[in-house]
Structures are given as structure tokens and as C-alpha cells.
Amino acid sequence: MKERTLFFTRDQSMALRGIGALMVFLSHWASWYAQWILWEPAAVLFSRLGIYGVDLFFLVSGYGLVKSALEHRPGAVFWWNRLKGTYVPYLLIVGLIELSAGGVTGAKDWFQYLTGYDYWFIRNILVFYGIFFAVYRLVKIRWARCVLTAAAVLAYSCWLAERGRADFWYLSNIAFVIGIILAEWEKELIRLARAGYLLQLSVLTCFLLLAAKIGWERRLLSSEGMDIWRYEVAAGLIWTLFAVQAAGLIGGSVSWLRFLGRISLEFYLLHTPVFYRIMNTFPEWGVIAQGGIGILLSVLLSWLFNRALYYLFLSAKGRKAAGNEGGR
């Protein structure tokens, strides 16, 4: 492994997003393949992988936001880049999904659609963008920025918990704060991360296996209240720290993960409705054919949407440059 100067290069960030997308897929499609997993606790664990997949999205999002803000103070361009990269694709893709299902009707449906109510990653990341923008516009001291961001995310997470939101709405939020801390204190923390690297990675692996073992024994879904807070937050923290260290092992041979990372948002939005549409429309195909076609169609549609949105937001100058590059 090369000596680390960054926690995540661009390629590593994309690969982590790809891993996160894969984990979310395995979680949402568990009802399709769980019949082949003979050990019930393992099947339950796979159904929960999406929580830890979103941890990776929040981790690299927090990290990337700080790296961007340290180069350019957040302003109108910051908001436009965030909106066109997350919110606009959500509006277009989910809008088409809702339209095919009969459309959005009534003030409540419109409110839920516009605020990402049924897509918890979208809702949370938009809130995090707002918190980040406010803190990084007003505060210049890095420790104060970290503390204020963490406090705001914690307050938001407690609010979600008190309102009885599904547990995964707030358990992954700690990863966003970790990403911010990593970027703010990168030079100092890189030195710590390099010290006894393999030993640290081994210890984190042991803790990760222990967390998985506890999850299997408790069947994960049986916990309630503060009990799930303690277990799931601890498990998420261990997993996130493991991912930070393990990212240093990601080399250039995972191009398919980087590809999945580039289309991860579109894939997140599309794979579940595609799956259920195929299951309900073509029940005679059999589960293997349904799953295989569903995966291929989800990836293809995600890529097409990703490319369409990319060219939609390219400036005229950018289109010309892209055309020149493509002709070489």
C-alpha cells in the first residue's frame, strides 16, 4: 500500500460509494435472494446492510464537502452543485416514478415528494447540506466548525428519534460528522492512521466481526428504544472507522466499483421500483430471471439517467470540451 497523504482519493471515494450502493442493493433485494440463505440470522443481517451502506455515502459526503469548502467558501455555487448533484436527480427520477404510479396528488403528497420524505438518504443529506453551509459560512475556526456541525447533527438525530422515525434515519448520521473531522484534521489524523496500520486494521476487523456476531444473536430487529441506539451507533462507528482504514487498500483494480459509485444516486433511486415492477409484471419468469434482468435493467437505467443529467448540466463550453475529448 502506498503511503497515505489523503484519507480518500477521488477514486477511493467513488469505490466507497460503489460499495455503499451494493450494500443498499443487497438490503433492499433481500426478499429476492434470502430464500437461498439457509441460516436465518445471516439473512436478517443482509437485510440490514443498507444502513451501513449509507454510512459510506455520508462519510465521503462529509469529507468531500470540507475539501471543497477549504478551496472555495460555500456560496451560491456550492448550493447549485449540491442541488444538481443530488436534489435535481431525485426530483426528476422520483417524479417519473410517481407519475407512472398515478402521480402526486394533494398537498401532503407534494410536501413529502419535495422534501424527500420517503427517501431518507435524500432528506438527511439535504439537511446536512444546510447545516454545513450555515456553519462553514459563519465560522472560521476548524474545531468550532466540527463541534457546531456535530451538535447540529446530533440535535437533528435526536429530533428524528423522538418523532419515532425508522431507526436507520438517525443511526448513520454519525458517519457524516466523522467525514468532516477527517477532512478538517487530515494531516494530524493521517499520522495516527499510519501508525501500526495493519494492527489497527486487524483490531477493527475483530470488533467488526464481534458486532456482526452480536447482531446475529440478537436478530437485530428485536431491539428497541435506547438499546438499539447503543448497539447500532456502536456498530456503525466501528464499521465507519474500519472503512476509513480499509479504504487505503483500495487500488486501481476496482473500476466496476468506481462505475457503480458514479451512478450510485441513480441506482439508489431506481433499483427498488425496478425490482418490484418486474416482480409484479412478470411473475412467470421465475426468481432467477427476474433478479438477473432486474439488476441489468437497474444498472442500465441508472447509467442512462446519469449520462443524461451530466450532459444536461454541462455548459456550452463544457459540451465543446467533452466533444473534443471524446474525439481524441
For 274-319, the pLDDT digits (tens) are 988 888 888 888 878 888 898 999 999 999 999 998 888 875 445 4
CA 67 to each of CA 74, 79, 233: distance values in angstroms, whole numbers, following the listed order: 11, 15, 26
What is the total residue count of the chain? 328
For 212-264, the pLDDT digits (tens) are 777 766 654 444 555 666 777 888 899 999 999 999 888 766 888 999 999 99
If pLDDT is split at 50, 70 and 90, which confidence band does 320 have?
A: very low
If pLDDT is split at 50, 70 and 90, which confidence band does 78 have?
A: confident
For 131-159, the pLDDT digits (tens) are 999 999 999 999 999 999 999 999 999 88
Rounded to two decimals, what is the model's pTM? 0.88
To the nearest 10°, report the CA torsion of 11, 16, 21, 27: 160
